[in-house]
Structure 1
Amino acid sequence: MHLGLDLSDAGAHPAAWRTVGSEARRLFDPERLVELVETAQRGALDFVLLDDAFALQPSRDTTLRGRLDAVLVAARLAPRSRGIGLVATVDTTHTEPFHVSKAIQTVDHASGGRAAWQVGWSTTDEVAAAFGRKPAQSEADAVAEADEAVEIVRRLWDSWEDDAEIRDVATHRFVDRSKLHYVDHDGIHFAVKGPSITPRSPQGQPPVVVRAQSPASLALAARHADVVRIRATSQSDAAARRAEVRAAAAEAGRDPGSLRVLVDALVVLGPDEASAQARLDLLQSLEGTRWETGSFAHVGTARGLAQLVQDWTETGAADGFTLRPASLHTDVAQIVDEVVPRLRAGGLFRSAYPGTTFRDTLNLRRPANRFSAAIA
């Protein structure tokens, strides 16, 4: 099974920053995230996720507003972490594919092969106005642009062959230019010649993460994703959605076994169900409105969450979960210290990372370079 943690904001609940112990003064302190990542990797969790967007969180002034740049934070975390995957969200609507490719590849180099890219896109007037280059797009147009951007990024990641750097002092040759390739993409939204300025990174292709929450994003995930995030309200709903993702991947000509389908799950933990519910009630009262997660929520004990994770993964309803702690300062430590040990005791979860890269953790092979494979 695969388990990741969403470390965005103060937690998944918008009122989390207002609770006792939330360390509100440190919300934009990267060292707070270093500490959270250290806790997550103590549990050998697959990855931490850093969300990002070009607009303030859509809520009232009482809600936490603002974020640090996800890729830059991932770059800071890279040399200060071991084993764990670093998933950064980058918007394709207002970021050029060339910039995305070298940013994620740089984090992959800095981390020794633990970077991943969660594909984002924008459809609001607010974000469009922040850049002033083009009007807001429909979801269909934004996802189509994202689809093309992912293809370009993947080509740029391959534009240096693995052995392109020869570093031959005697002949004064640093690279073998025959092993640098133009991507020569001329599409609907982008025209990119390449090659990249960044050598191919340890994973070759850092994993691509896509949230499949609509027909358009499902199609994008089926064509390009290594990790697919889905929302589900029940075990049977998750099984149906996972089957839909895998069928769409097969229709796109891919091996469904090459995708990891993870369910988003809000987590509110307590020593008993009543205590967990009281925590959620407090968060709801602080926010003043009922908060809808849009996906499954576990409000209960660590034992109950461990059993749920086991049931859903063993029955094939999911390959794992993206756990979204309601309050990072409370729930992350409980997940690592109380949920993970129960899974390990049942022989269901690792006690150490299986390799050095995020692909190793996901049990995904390192892909061959498309250009060198074509020449061969």
Structure 2
Amino acid sequence: MSKTGLFLGIEIAGTGTHPASWRRADSAAEDLFTAGYWTSVVSSAEDLGFDAVFLPDSFGIQSGGAAATRGRLDAVAIAARTAPLSTRIGLIPQVPVTHTEPFHVSKAVTALDFASLGRAGWEVTVSTAEAKAFGRKDIQDPVSLWHEADEAVEVVTRLWDSWEDDAEIRDVATGRFIDRDRLHYIDFTGDNFSVKGPSITPRSPQGQPIVTVRADTPESTEVAVRRADLIRVTAPDLPTAAARRTALRAAIAAEGRDPSTVRILLDLPVHLADSADDARAAVRELDRWAEHTEISAAHRPSTASTSAAETTQLRHVGTVGELDELLAEIARSGIADGVVVRPLALQATLRALITHRRTAVAPTTDSASDHPQPNGPATLRDRLDLPRPASRYATTGTVL
């Protein structure tokens, strides 16, 4: 698979993003709730040269038809389990903020950054219809949800900055473990949160792990241009994708941010096979299964909306070679800074990519790009060529 300079991610959504992917004989759905399933797919993604894995999460039950695949493991826990078994690939779990305190999000993602030696990210997401599961507040409208998310990101990033880089002194002679002058209150007061801080964990290897937001609604887009290091977008075609990148960069600049410090990633659903005809036939079969799968009335609307969204979204159903050509066009035209591959059927996509790599007569790109060496970029920020931010409290702010 050719990267041609693009940042390349892969979304690991259970057995795949298609609601009927679990029905394939090769889906490994029976292993979804085992550690081995996730460590295997993350290791495969790393071996294939992907720069990051994106791990979806939600407080809601997944739509689909099989009880065995409608549950969900915690994305941060999955990332933490795979961290010591990987060495290079970025780990970006989703963490919903609607019912999760920013302090807990901050600590969990910081811990992941330490466990992965600087390869952690956080994809911000909200929770829409699961309020009754928590009993703390009513269902919120999109404006309220994303205003709360905006404040949550502000609190989390302030907590990440609340320890300066050299706050740990570990002075055995005096018995001082930390320099209290380098720990800071964040003193945040907003509409949803009032947090004094500081964090209880030191500043992590990246200073601030990578913040990702999907710009798929007006509300989430506003948060993305203000807060995100990575912005994920969808588009029905390549010209629209290019236009969205241009518009986002302009909006980022209007917020007073440097557009060169934000990366725009294009989501690309894919299904790969030995031939384009085989790939199309496999997707038709998935669609037929989805139509005849027993899904409760409560889950039909979400399944229908997901299918409708994917049919209007640019996707690739074909061979690995054709995917290489598409990636090359995206890179050559500056349509996006990277691509997030979203396999309709995860195991089939990984198998096709592995087979293609093994049987390729000659590499299509230089080996340093497709198979980074151990002395390559160490952190996720390094891979994205993004600067490590200094603590905002290093020269100002209230100390303890």
Coarse TM-score class (shorter-chain normalised): over 0.9
- How far residue 22 of structure 1 moved from its aligned partner, in angstroms, is 1.4
Q: What is the aligned-residue RMSD (CA, Å)?
A: 1.9
Residues 39-92 of structure 1 show CA distances to partners (whole Å, capped at 9, x for unaligned) of 111122110111000010145557830110001111111111110000010111
CA distance in 2, matches of 1:15, 1:334: 19
CA distance in 1, matches of 2:169, 2:242: 48
Residues 215-235 of structure 1 show CA distances to partners (whole Å, capped at 9, x for unaligned) of 111111101101110011101
CA distance in 1, matches of 2:102, 2:245: 29
Structure 2 residue matching 1:288: 3-state secondary structure? helix
Residues 48-87 of structure 1 mapped to structure 2, 5 A cutoff:
48-60=53-65, 64-87=69-92
CA distance in 2, matches of 1:205, 1:149: 14
CA 1:87 to 1:360, structure 2 compared with 1: closer, same or farther past 3 Å?
Answer: same
CA 1:175 to 1:286, structure 2 compared with 1: closer, same or farther past 3 Å?
Answer: same
Q: Which of the residues 123, 126, 140 maps onto 1:121?
A: 126
Kindly report structure 1 stretches of 4+ aligned residues shifted beyond 6 Å.
339-343
CA distance in 2, matches of 1:19, 1:326: 11
Q: Which of the residues 381, 390, 394 maps onto 1:359?
A: 381
CA distance in 2, matches of 1:58, 1:345: 38
Residues 305-316 of structure 1 mapped to structure 2, 5 A cutoff:
305-316=323-334
CA 1:189 to 1:342, structure 2 compared with 1: closer, same or farther past 3 Å?
Answer: farther
Alignment of 1:176 onto 2:179: yes
Which residue in the other structure is 1:5 paired with?
A: 10
Alignment of 1:195 onto 2:215: no
Q: Which of the residues 294, 298, 305 maps onto 2:316?
A: 298
CA 1:337 to 1:115, structure 2 compared with 1: closer, same or farther past 3 Å?
Answer: farther
Alignment of 1:329 onto 2:334: no
Conserved 8 A contact 1:277-1:300: yes
Residues 253-294 of structure 1 show CA distances to partners (whole Å, capped at 9, x for unaligned) of 111111111111111111111010011011111111683415
Which moved further from structure 2: 20-29 or 79-88? 20-29
**TM-score normalised by length of structure 2:** 0.89
Amino acid at match of 1:46: D
CA distance in 2, matches of 1:336, 1:355: 23
Residues 189-208 of structure 1 show CA distances to partners (whole Å, capped at 9, x for unaligned) of 00000000010000000000
- How far residue 145 of structure 1 moved from its aligned partner, in angstroms, is 0.4
Which residue in the other structure is 1:166 paired with?
A: 169
Alignment of 1:338 onto 2:356: yes
What runs of 5+ residues in structure 1 fail to find an aligned partner? none
Q: Which of the residues 235, 238, 252 maps onto 2:255?
A: 252
Structure 2 residue matching 1:216: 3-state secondary structure? helix
CA distance in 1, matches of 2:165, 2:350: 38
CA distance in 2, matches of 1:164, 1:346: 43
Which moved further from structure 2: 334-343 or 112-121? 334-343
CA distance in 2, matches of 1:342, 1:135: 58
CA 1:336 to 1:48, structure 2 compared with 1: closer, same or farther past 3 Å?
Answer: farther
Residues 152-171 of structure 1 show CA distances to partners (whole Å, capped at 9, x for unaligned) of 10000010011100111110
CA distance in 2, matches of 1:95, 1:344: 45
- How far residue 119 of structure 1 moved from its aligned partner, in angstroms, is 0.1
Taking every aligned residue pair, what percent have the same amino acid on both sides? 46
Conserved 8 A contact 1:204-1:366: yes
Residues 28-107 of structure 1 mapped to structure 2, 5 A cutoff:
28-60=33-65, 64-107=69-112
CA distance in 1, matches of 2:363, 2:195: 47
Amino acid at match of 1:134: K
CA distance in 2, matches of 1:140, 1:153: 20
CA distance in 1, matches of 2:395, 2:142: 35
- How far residue 373 of structure 1 moved from its aligned partner, in angstroms, is 4.2
Conserved 8 A contact 1:5-1:322: yes
CA 1:319 to 1:336, structure 2 compared with 1: closer, same or farther past 3 Å?
Answer: farther
CA distance in 1, matches of 2:186, 2:328: 44
Amino acid at match of 2:111: T
Alignment of 1:263 onto 2:266: yes
Conserved 8 A contact 2:211-2:228: yes
Alignment of 1:15 onto 2:20: yes
Conserved 8 A contact 2:320-2:356: yes
Amino acid at match of 2:315: A
**TM-score normalised by length of structure 1:** 0.95
Conserved 8 A contact 2:20-2:64: no
Conserved 8 A contact 1:12-1:326: yes
CA distance in 1, matches of 2:188, 2:168: 24
- How far residue 339 of structure 1 moved from its aligned partner, in angstroms, is 7.2
Conserved 8 A contact 1:227-1:260: yes
What runs of 5+ residues in structure 2 fail to find an aligned partner? 1-5, 293-303
CA 1:62 to 1:106, structure 2 compared with 1: closer, same or farther past 3 Å?
Answer: closer
Which residue in the other structure is 2:301 paired with?
A: none
Amino acid at match of 1:159: S
Amino acid at match of 2:372: A
CA distance in 2, matches of 1:139, 1:8: 24
CA 1:152 to 1:224, structure 2 compared with 1: closer, same or farther past 3 Å?
Answer: same
- How far residue 8 of structure 1 moved from its aligned partner, in angstroms, is 1.3
CA 1:169 to 1:325, structure 2 compared with 1: closer, same or farther past 3 Å?
Answer: same
CA distance in 1, matches of 2:14, 2:265: 21
Structure 2 residue matching 1:372: 3-state secondary structure? coil
